[in-house]
Amino acid sequence: MYICLDLGGTHLRGAWLDEQGRHGPVLVLPRKKTLEGTKEVLSELIIKLKKSCPGQVKKIGLATAGPFDRQKKVYLSPTNMPELSGFKVGSFIQEQFALDLILENDAQAAALGEVWQGGLKGENQAIVLTLGTGVGSGVIFDGRIWRAAHDTGPELGHIYLGEGPIERCGCGQFGCAETWLNKKALLDLFARHDLVLNDPKEIWPYIRNEHTGAIKALQEYGHRLGLFLSQLMIIFNIKAIGISGGISSLGTYFLAGTWSMLKQRLQKRPWLLPEKIVVSPDSQMSALWGMARLIALAMRAD
Ligand SMILES: [Zn+2]
């Protein structure tokens, strides 16, 4: 049995899982934006999960935003969680619970989770994008996370998609895919259609009423995603695309726009089109599945 956690800017999520992907309920706790608050919430959730877990816990997996040193299990200077800079999370877990920690980038964990138990189950090669507060990415080659140099994997969200949103990206540049496709970009699109919302989830009543502005905004969001994916297809030509993260649940309403833009951009290169774009069946599980898979692979290698 493993305890798998997903630590984001505002919340910590977790569940127990086994090597077949069976899991308990997902528990979510708010995270205080301090180092002490983060340590407290980590301890609290691990204790709860250990109690409810039906077997002995062998390892803990933590999916989280970086950058961090994966081998040393130390946060470097996380863009959205500066309070965790230098936090030796691996030693902390070892001291508190006498358990080994495996650390992984949240989007890369989500990518592995989607090909293991999610919408792309059984795929050997895939690109998975996590659409939420940020835009994360993971590339799977031969059923494993592709890491490249620095152990980090590709940061596809920082591919330049052209001038547009005036917000500067977290990486310091303008025009990154992330600033076209993150939660804020989607909320700005809704606002342009007179729908001033605090969270993309608030769009559901408007969708149910077939609100023209809501439908148009999501179509435009889909076009943007299609433009981004057309770039990725030219680089990777990987046939299976997964979408996870908070925004992915709106996929039914934006993926038509994504396909139409992809077909337009790759009109003369139809062999570069993906075969499928699949929304995660349970986006809050993606990274947790991925962590369980990583632990199982690591334990097999031990
Ligand atoms: Zn960027």
Centre of ligand 1 from the C-alpha of residue 175, in Å: 7
Centre of ligand 1 from the C-alpha of residue 155, in Å: 9
Model pLDDT, residue 154 = 86
pLDDT tens, position by position, 241-290: 999 999 999 999 999 999 999 999 999 999 999 999 999 999 999 999 99
Residue with tokens 């993150």: 182
| Tokens at 77, concatenated | 């200077």
Which structural domain range is residue 164 located in? 121-279
pLDDT tier for residue 161 given thresholds of 50, 70 and 90:
very high
pLDDT tier for residue 300 given thresholds of 50, 70 and 90:
confident
* Cis peptide, bond prior to residue 54, ω within 30 of zero: no
Q: What is the mean pLDDT of the chain?
A: 94
Centre of ligand 1 from the C-alpha of residue 179, in Å: 7
Centre of ligand 1 from the C-alpha of residue 283, in Å: 23
pLDDT tier for residue 301 given thresholds of 50, 70 and 90:
confident
pLDDT tens, position by position, 102-129: 999 999 999 999 999 999 999 999 999 9
Centre of ligand 1 from the C-alpha of residue 110, in Å: 20
Please give all residues whose CB falls under 5 A of ion ligand 1, grouped by chain where several chains appear: 158, 169, 171, 173, 176
Residues 133 and 267 in one domain: yes
Residues 87 and 140 in one domain: no
By mean pLDDT, which of 139-148, 214-223, 232-241 is the weakest? Answer: 139-148
Residues 160 and 265 in one domain: yes
| Tokens at 266, concatenated | 């790759």
Centre of ligand 1 from the C-alpha of residue 163, in Å: 12
The pTM for the full model equals: 0.95
Candidates 30, 275, 252, 251; CA nearest to 131 is 251
Backbone angles phi, psi at 280, to 5 degrees: -60, 135
Centre of ligand 1 from the C-alpha of residue 134, in Å: 10
Helix ranges (H only) for the chain are 35-52, 89-97, 106-116, 177-181, 183-192, 204-208, 212-236, 251-265, 286-301
Measure the CA–CA gap between 106 and 197, rounded to whole angstroms: 26
Centre of ligand 1 from the C-alpha of residue 184, in Å: 14
Report the domain count for the chain. 2
**Stretch 234-241: mean pLDDT:** 96
Measure the CA–CA gap between 295 and 300, rounded to whole angstroms: 8
Return the CATH number at 17.
3.30.420.40
Residue with tokens 């358990």: 99
Residues 214 and 242 in one domain: yes
| Tokens at 166, concatenated | 């005036």
